[in-house]
Amino acid sequence: MHELLSSTSADRYVEQMRVTVDRIAGRLRDTPQPFSGASRQQLQELVDAVDLDSAGLGTATALREADDLVGEHAVWFHHPAYAAHLNCPVAVPAVVAEAMIAAVNPSLDTYDQSTIGTLMERKLVDWTCGRIGFAAGDGVFTSGGTQSNLQALLLARDAAVARGGRPEGLVIVATASSHFSVQKAARLLGLGDDAVILVRTDAHGRMDPAALAGVLDTLTAIDRVPMCVVATAGTTDRGRLDPLAAIADECDRAGVWLHVDAAYGCGLLVSPTRRHLLDGIERARSVTVDFHKSFFQPVSSSALLVREPGDLRHVTWHADYLNPADAEEPNQVDKSMQTTRRFDALKLWTTLRALGPDGIGAMFDAVLDLAARVHDEVDRDPDLELVGRTELSTVLFRYQPPHVSDAQADGLVPLVRRVLFESGRAVVAKTVVAGRPCLKLTLLNPDTTLDDIRGVLELVRGAAAALVEGDDLVAAAEVGVR
């Protein structure tokens, strides 16, 4: 039995889907904590025990084994004690659409491999452009914000070169709070690590428009060409938005491409209460959105949107066998860095149709409201120190009661994160803000309650207090800081 999906295997497909879906549903119902807490060594042994060269086990056994591995030891983002990174619980219509995508398996590179899928993706691109405020924009779905940012910077580079900019002199202007994919894109584009110039930020890590003006003037004076300013609408750590309109003013004045990285903040596009936070985004030349962050979509679902459709020509290449220059059909490959490409758009499509834009926006609003309440809670807590306020849904803090020194508090950050992770009872992140380590919660679950987060904070307090009591560990923590 070859087990390919076909007219003869349809019944077996139904059976295996059903069994697998039931197993996952059971885990969703019963999983008591976000992670099993298995050690890396235990997990390595489980993986090592699988002999990939052994004879086939059959579909049922293989899927059971996958569930024993992945279902048992996954990190469950729907669990209220998962509060680490920008991972969201996923919308049911999108998850079911994902199964459709896998089974139908269209490829969105050409019209003749996707037909209506191409038209649906284009309609969603137009819809997103409309929400941004691009009168006649265009764009394409991508694998994630990293790819969207890379494509934006590639388009900006080629536009600058087309205007006569020397490739060696090109500069990307960003801030220290910009996503690391900007730096990585500069390297991939062959621009060099020193091609990214960081503009001064305010106390919240937001780009200072006056400093930007100064940087743009200086660059011109020293004969370097600012090919793109990257503004972030929702910084990954602090959840802050750069002042988009003021930055757009400076970009217009200097004639520089403005890219807005809204990978995190894009959920505001559908927020019934906070859309104004994105005012000015319509003046960008390109925008990154990550539907798999604040639109509750399964990975992957992202898009790059451009204000001027012609800008996408820089990734167009024609091949006789695929998308000849005289093709009459709409071929999305003309706009994409990928060739074979998933129909991720179907997931957003079904979610929009099921919940409507306001329904998605209300879920994002719920996490933003929760974050505001958690900030107040942490701020009031004498054992915890709140590290700045967010406009979105991150919470940055340290365990630092009066008797704990700065060095101790800093040393506790990675240890507390690890103790929690190894217990599997809660998953939190850590980062560095203004030179000091801190713990980070990223809230993206509209069903999580303040009490759920109080429970996570209680685990943090308990772990930290135990570490402070164990002298060795505190000593270790202080060594770790040095």
Ligand X SMILES: *Cc1c(COP(=O)(O)O)cnc(C)c1O
Span of 117-125, 184-192, 229-237, 449-457 interacting with ligand X by CB under 6 A: 229-237
Q: Between β-strands 436-442 and 394-399, what pairing exists: parallel, antiparallel or unpaired?
A: antiparallel
Any idea what DSSP says for residue 385?
E
- Nearer to ligand X by Cβ, of 236 and 400: the residue is 236
Q: Does 205 bind ligand X (CB under 6 A)?
A: no
Q: Between β-strands 286-290 and 302-306, what pairing exists: parallel, antiparallel or unpaired?
A: antiparallel
- The CA distance from 351 to 366, in Å, is 17
- CB-based burial label for 73 (10 Å; 0-12, 13-18, 19+): middle
- 3-state SS string over 165-209? CCHHHEEEEEECCCCHHHHHHHHHCCCCHHHEEEECECCCCCECH
- The CA distance from 12 to 140, in Å, is 35
- The CA distance from 416 to 422, in Å, is 10
- The CA distance from 459 to 453, in Å, is 10
Residue 288 contacts residue 135 (beta carbons within 8 Å): no
Provide the mask over 230-249, with x wherever binding to ligand X is found by CB under 6 A and - wherever it is not.
Answer: --x-x-x-------------
Q: What is the DSSP string of 239-296?
A: --B--HHHHHHHHHHHT--EEEEETTGGGGGG-TTTGGGGTTGGG-SEEEEEHHHHT-
Q: Out of 242, 290, 391, 452, which residue is the one contacting ligand X (CB under 6 A)?
A: 290
- Nearer to ligand X by Cβ, of 393 and 400: the residue is 393
Q: Does 385 bind ligand X (CB under 6 A)?
A: no
Q: Does 177 bind ligand X (CB under 6 A)?
A: no
Query: In the complex, what is the shortest distance from the CB of residue 467 to ligand X, in angstroms, rounded to a whole number?
Result: 30
- Nearer to ligand X by Cβ, of 150 and 415: the residue is 150
Q: Does 338 bind ligand X (CB under 6 A)?
A: no
Among candidates 449, 391, 429, which has minimal Cα distance to 264?
A: 391
Q: Out of 79, 122, 131, 179, which residue is the one contacting ligand X (CB under 6 A)?
A: 179
Q: What is the DSSP string of 219-243?
A: HHHTT-EEEEEEEEBS-TTT--B--
Query: In the complex, what is the shortest distance from the CB of residue 288 to ligand X, in angstroms, rounded to a whole number?
Result: 6
Query: In the complex, what is the shortest distance from the CB of residue 382 to ligand X, in angstroms, rounded to a whole number?
Result: 32
Span of 185-193, 210-218, 260-268, 405-413 interacting with ligand X by CB under 6 A: 260-268
Query: In the complex, what is the shortest distance from the CB of residue 445 to ligand X, in angstroms, rounded to a whole number?
Result: 17
Provide the mask over 301-330, with x wherever binding to ligand X is found by CB under 6 A and - wherever it is not.
Answer: -x----------------------------
Residue 392 contacts residue 369 (beta carbons within 8 Å): no
Query: In the complex, what is the shortest distance from the CB of residue 5 to ligand X, in angstroms, rounded to a whole number?
Result: 29
Provide the mask over 137-176, with x wherever binding to ligand X is found by CB under 6 A and - wherever it is not.
Answer: -------xxx--x---------------------------
Count of residues binding ligand X (CB under 6 A)?
15
Query: In the complex, what is the shortest distance from the CB of residue 144 to ligand X, in angstroms, rounded to a whole number?
Result: 3
Q: Does 261 bind ligand X (CB under 6 A)?
A: yes
- Nearer to ligand X by Cβ, of 182 and 416: the residue is 182
- Nearer to ligand X by Cβ, of 110 and 302: the residue is 302
Q: Write out the H or E segment, with its range, that includes residue 138.
A: strand 138-142
Phi then psi for residue 446, to 5 deg, are -65, -15
- Nearer to ligand X by Cβ, of 86 and 460: the residue is 86
Q: Out of 113, 114, 118, 181, which residue is the one contacting ligand X (CB under 6 A)?
A: 181
Residue 428 contacts residue 464 (beta carbons within 8 Å): no
Q: Between β-strands 138-142 and 170-175, what pairing exists: parallel, antiparallel or unpaired?
A: unpaired
- Nearer to ligand X by Cβ, of 113 and 147: the residue is 147
Query: In the complex, what is the shortest distance from the CB of residue 75 to ligand X, in angstroms, rounded to a whole number?
Result: 15
Q: Out of 264, 364, 397, 421, which residue is the one contacting ligand X (CB under 6 A)?
A: 264
Phi then psi for residue 436, to 5 deg, are -120, 140
- Nearer to ligand X by Cβ, of 220 and 300: the residue is 300
Q: How far is CA 93 from the centre of its chain?
A: 20
Helix runs in 79-132, H state only: 92-104, 116-132
Q: Is 368 helix (H, G, I), strand (E, B) or coil?
A: helix
Q: Does 344 bind ligand X (CB under 6 A)?
A: no
Q: Does 118 bind ligand X (CB under 6 A)?
A: no
- Nearer to ligand X by Cβ, of 261 and 344: the residue is 261
Provide the mask over 56-95, with x wherever binding to ligand X is found by CB under 6 A and - wherever it is not.
Answer: ------------------------------x---------
Any idea what DSSP says for residue 81?
T
- Nearer to ligand X by Cβ, of 141 and 399: the residue is 141
Q: Does 263 bind ligand X (CB under 6 A)?
A: yes
Q: Contact positions toward ligand X, by CB under 6 A? A: 86, 144-146, 149, 179, 181, 232, 234, 236, 261, 263-264, 290, 302
